[in-house]
Amino acid sequence: MPSPNPPASVLHALRRVMRPLVRLMLKKGVTYTYFADMLKGVFVEVAEQEFRLDDKPPSDSRISLITGVHRKDVRRLRDAPHDFSEQLPEAVSLGAHLVSTWLSTPPFCIRPGQAAPLPRLASAGGGQSFDALVGHVSKDIRARVVLDEWQRLGIARIDGEDRVHLETTAFVPQKGFDEKAAYFGHNVHDHACAAVHNLTADGPAFFERSVHYDALSPASIEQLRDAVSADGMQTLIAFNTLASQLEARDATGPDAQQRVTIGLYFYSEASAPPPTAVVDESGTKHP
């Protein structure tokens, strides 16, 4: 049975975590009523999948007990079809794989981390063309379809010599809200999973570290932003190259069933103002 008094530190952290999510919901028209019903479904789903006894599915009554969701709602939500997937959409997953290959696999890269400009057609570039890149990753989709979509999303461009240039060092579309939202869900989910594991699970912790300062000028923030964009991306490219090599080595093994996310982020905003000192009648200052 859950504790009637959750730790205050957890409640404070959850409230802070929810603020940017609520900001997103309000900007995109997700009301409290809609979100609250969706959240009920998440409570029921997690309780059903992760809080079993002896690996047996919990009863509606037990789920109601540990979640606080009414038993009638539990039954309704357990019977409702799930209209979402834990996986990235196929187009996004394929795009990420293509960008990774372009950045790390000869002859498509100049060196690991630097994608080569590729002739658009195999008739011009042979095995070092954009046609060949797409064919290397998937035989089920035409390169022209990928290129048209990537131009729409700002991921690739064609120059005057009919060569395709990669415009980004990761599959992060400059346009295309649905694609950005897919990555938002993937990245925030995995970051949260690592942090929750480190708070609640035994065994080795996942790496999850940050540095933070609160007395910097706007010029210093821009200098840090540029440094993170340059050096941080080089770090991620190195991890991408290693992961690509390891995946190729593991591909035929029976235990190649683990996924990994390695992330890096940068955020800045105005610091909270220091508390104003209050002077009482005796002249003593209090924070």
206: alpha, beta or left? (left if phi > 0; alpha if psi -120 to 50):
beta
pLDDT category at 17 given cuts 50, 70, 90 is very high
Single pTM value for the model: 0.69
Contact 114, 165 (CB under 8 A): no
pLDDT given for residue 71 in this prediction? 93
In this predicted structure, the answer to whether residue 169 has a pLDDT above a threshold of 70 is: no
Contact 100, 91 (CB under 8 A): no
Buried b (16+ CB within 10 A) or exposed e, 230-245: eeebeebbeebbeebe
User: Residues 228-272: pLDDT tens digits?
Assistant: 988 988 898 888 888 888 988 998 888 999 999 999 999 999 987
Handedness of CA 134, 139, 140, 142 (dihedral sign): positive
In this predicted structure, the answer to whether residue 111 has a pLDDT above a threshold of 90 is: no
Q: Which amino acid is at 202?
A: D
In this predicted structure, the answer to whether residue 282 has a pLDDT above a threshold of 70 is: no
User: Residues 27-40: pLDDT tens digits?
Assistant: 888 899 989 999 99
Ranges of H-type helices in 51-137: 60-67, 71-79, 90-104, 122-125, 130-137
Contact 250, 242 (CB under 8 A): no
What does the pLDDT average to over 142-170? 88
CA angle at 10 for the pair 7 and 15, rounded to the nearest 5°: 130
pLDDT given for residue 20 in this prediction? 94
| DSSP-derived secondary structure for 177-199 | HHHHHHHHHHHHHHHHHHHHHHH
User: Residues 183-214: pLDDT tens digits?
Assistant: 888 899 999 999 999 999 888 999 999 999 99
Token pair 């080795």 in the structure block, residue: 204
Nearest Cα residue to 99 out of 189, 206, 177, 183:
183
56-60, 158-162, 268-272, 277-281: which has the minimum mean pLDDT?
277-281
